[in-house]
Structure 1
Amino acid sequence: MRVNDRSRNASPQPLGLWIVGLGSQYPRHLLGPEKLDSFVKRLYDVEIPGIKRLLRINHTTGIETRSAIMDYESGWGTEKKPPSIEEMDALFRTAGVALTVQACEKAINEWNGDPRDITHTVAVTCTNRGNPGFDLLVNKQLGLSPSVDRTLLHGVGCAGGLAIMRTAAQLACGATLRGRPARILCFACELSTPNVRYEVDAAARCLDASQVCIAGALFSDAAAAFVLCNDLGLQKTVKPVYELLNWNNTLIPDTSNDLEFFVEATGYRTTLSRSLPKHAVGAVDKMVRSLLPSICAQAFSDDFGAADCDWALHPGGQAIIDGVQRVMGLADERLRATREIYRTRSNSSSPTVLGVLDRLRSMDMRKEFVVATAFGPGLSVEMSFLRSCSVSPTRH
């Protein structure tokens, strides 16, 4: 897809927004499909229709390993009952916070700045509901100033990694207008695998096997972080990783029931409709069209399209990845980072797209411009256009 007209969304003037450090952190356990098989067989009758369907799906996702904070052979994996919400909360606020701190330290070390110079934090999670939020615990462990400007997002699910990028960008632009530096630490963390026991239990109780939710065979654990600065907060000695050029978000009408995540007494209930991939793929095409004219201006070309960019696509499943590739006309190498993260780490919700961005920058044959996009409950779509600062500029 190419755009030859300049729309009123065009933004010829650089915004001066820079990602100067980026880090992703995965827990040490990598669980293959056979691990879920043995776990389920130990606790359930595998001839139950819902269980049988879940185990069949477990081997058709295209996921080779899922990153997990714990294995299925100790702790809650051996208990007769699923872990309670209280137990999952306690695990997140210890192990989840520790994982997030590790991701933040990677981003801060690459930035090579002083944590005490961080002016804002923007955080997100959908697998913890604690108050005060987990961001306060992370900030304390990192030694950030008590007066740091904190923002904690909720309810955005898998779109969270780019929602915090959008929020940070808006905060940084506001700081620029006020003549102030912005050095914003953004982080996302999800612990989804402790909820696997709930998902398997739900599958065992499901009266209609065709309605079994695939979440138990899909989600994983991870944390990711980045530091975003405006021009006033950028140190002269620091070489940025990415320049953030433009962004957008939207809700897809009449799709609010296609992706849901609600708290119940013994876990989180997930809804993933079969229509989700179709809606997500269609929304990507529309949003690219709204943003591409402004990127054409910065690429110094009217003959510039989405296929000329690398893609950090949230790997919500094979159908979404394949659908976006087909609709946008992307060569295989444009989605190689997305497919690798999906295959080796799976979908860890909000941090996943940031993990894709992190992996992408270490690959060969990269493009100067990058499209990052993710989907969340609503259905919501988030998209950012970035420029890789380590790739030589090209003129199209």
Structure 2
Amino acid sequence: MSVAGILFGLFAVLLICNIPIAISLGISSVIAVIAADLPMEMIPINVFSSSSKFSLLAIPFFIIAGNIMEQAGISEKLIEFAKTMVGHRRTGLAMVCVIVCCFFAAISGSGPATVAALGMIMIPAMVNAGYTNTYSASLMSAGGAIGVIIPPSVTYIVYGSISGASIGKLFLAGVVPGILMGIALIIASMILSRKADLKKLPKASGAEKWHAFKDAFWGLLMPVIILGGIYSGVFTPTEAAAVSAIYGLFVGIFIYKKIKVKSLSELFINSASQTGVVMYVIICATLFAWVVTVDGLTVTIGDWLIDVTNGNLILFLLLSNLILLAAGCVMDAVSALYIFVPILLPVALNLGYDITAFGIMMCVNLAIGLITPPVGVNLYVACGIAKIGIKDMMKDIGAIILSVLIVLLIVTYVPDLSLLIPNLLGAK
């Protein structure tokens, strides 16, 4: 059996046996190395090289910042602010859910964290307003997926570290697709809820709007500091992550006063645990990708893709989307990036597609993976909050997935939309 056969065959068997993805990647890679009689010393070398990249330092800092802002109570303040702005409309609470997801995404950078932080408040509120339990959980799950697209995002950091693309430019390029996904979800909520008997919130006065804005101001300022600092040249994306963590501590302890010094140790331990999980995935996925590369499979698959599509960029992008959507159903975004970037990116560049736009396309695909079973993490978080099963959500989540697939097609075939802000600001 070929090295590729051993690698992917064993990986598939381990997944079928319900072994965690990261462990499956690691075990199949090590056995493939042994079976191919490759140098064993390459295993620790890959482990070290994959985990010692300077850009990856941004991951623990953004994780800490997101956890800090979550504990600081920023989610409640963002929700109250959004309610004063659009809560009085017929589908106001659905709009609040999506808008707050966009704002919180720019703070946490994580889909599951966005669902966990906002779902505890938004799902019961939407049910009380007349939305079904399953629809409320489905919309919350999809809204949380925006956390992977709107910067800062761990997936952009990982893609940048693999491809060599500018992480700062990726951050800027993610803004328009994230907003487009938010608009798509709002339109979908209007269509799907047109026959529902929904309660409206009372219209807020100007004074109430101003008060809600002042309360949410410090949270709204965080993405401004991150992106503004990067593109004013004050700090790099990695340094911006550290600044965001310090800023979050300041706001949580001294402004909102929800975080106590004695609780910091637990917060840091939880953040370290989450970072450890991400880094373990990165290490195992890097080893897997190295075996694939050494075996020459990346070149073989790349040549096959060019042959199958006859060098047609439109067909290649369609095939890439199908591959990534399928991958998102069974593996996390970080693992998928390490496996598929070395395979797909060279072909995309050869066909003249922009490296930043391709990264956004990949990340939007994998964001959709957060709401597609069987490994849709956002779905499980929302189900736990709403106390329902995944099967109960299938009808509602299916319609919502259709709306975000339309956004995916737009992002894929109109890359200038993603590159609009980077080009306007002259980002490099």
TM-score range normalised by the length of the shorter chain: under 0.3
Query: Which entry has the higher C-alpha Rg, 1 or 2?
Result: 2
Structure whose residues are more often helix by fraction: 2
Structure whose residues are more often strand by fraction: 1
The TM-score normalised by the length of structure 2 is 0.24
